[in-house]
Amino acid sequence: MKKQGLLIGFLVLTVACNMTTPIPASESAPMATLPSTPVPAPTTPTDSPLPTPHPRYFSDEFESHSLFWQFFQTGGIDSPLSMIENGVLRINISSRDTWFLGIHNAHTYSNVVVQAKISAGSAGSMGLVCRYTESDGWFEFNIASDGSYSVLLGRWLAPGIAKYIPIAADGSKLLAAGNINHEIGLSCEENTLNLYVGETLLRRLDVTNYGLTRGNIGVTAASFEEAPMTAFFEWVRVSGE
């Protein structure tokens, strides 16, 4: 992520890196998983109804809390906070160089389209995730406040410590520098990632060599050198395998 061609060719980057293209450096921090509202234990077997299956394709407009979202931190000193507020998923990141992942764990997908309406009023980045697995890694498509975008391969080294391998980074006339305010999309289709801003195809990437074939979808937000950073996801949609 950031300026044209800046990141391509780097072998491995760790989270919370202070570079022009803000890919985080390898700062160790405890993995932050925000607690979900506990489900009371049934008093008798008849008090325990079967759970309602979560639809495979869905639109989450964040009108209520969901037990299927799980959050992870890497880098940074303070733990970010996520909350449902006024119909949006709000992520508050108080420390610099902090990366935050929200993974929806109801289903895994091979071919899938993930879309979101995103906004942020301060320096940082926001994006989408596909093919997330704890063991093998994940793809990220991120939009930054300087008008650039990046595609990264993320992998856990240890709990709370991730590394990022840049796949692509560039700028675009579709992405103005300043506040982030976009509808974005990430299509993972066989060995290809398709990146969208609104309905416009931003870029198509061959990811054959990275070996990720299936996993969860998710969202991501990160602060750079400036903090705090607040990110808003108005909705997230999952469709079309």
Confirm if 184 and 159 have CB atoms less than 8 A apart. Answer: no
Q: Considering the domain 13-33+56-239 in this protein, what is its CATH number?
A: 2.60.120.560
Strands in 99-109's sheet, in edge-to-edge order, are 13-14, 161-171, 148-158, 137-144, 125-133, 215-222, 99-109, 69-74
What residue ranges do the domains of the chain occupy?
13-33+56-239
Average pLDDT of adjacent 10-residue blocks, the chain of 241 residues: 36 35 38 38 43 87 94 92 94 95 97 97 92 97 96 95 96 90 97 97 97 97 92 97 62
3-state secondary structure of 218: strand
**Predicted pLDDT at 10:** 34
Q: How many whole angstroms separate alpha carbon 18 and alpha carbon 146?
A: 15
Q: Which one, of 86, 106, 131, lies nearest residue 232 by Cα?
A: 86
Confirm if 169 and 7 have CB atoms less than 8 A apart. Answer: yes
Both tokens assigned to 153: 């391969």
**Predicted pLDDT at 122:** 76
Q: Which residue has the tokens 């990046």?
A: 150
Q: Which one, of 39, 38, 14, 34, lies nearest residue 26 by Cα?
A: 14
pTM confidence score: 0.78
**Predicted pLDDT at 241:** 62
**Predicted pLDDT at 51:** 54
What are the C-alpha distances in Å from 185 to residues 60, 188, 221? 15, 10, 15
Q: How many whole angstroms separate alpha carbon 105 and alpha carbon 75?
A: 22
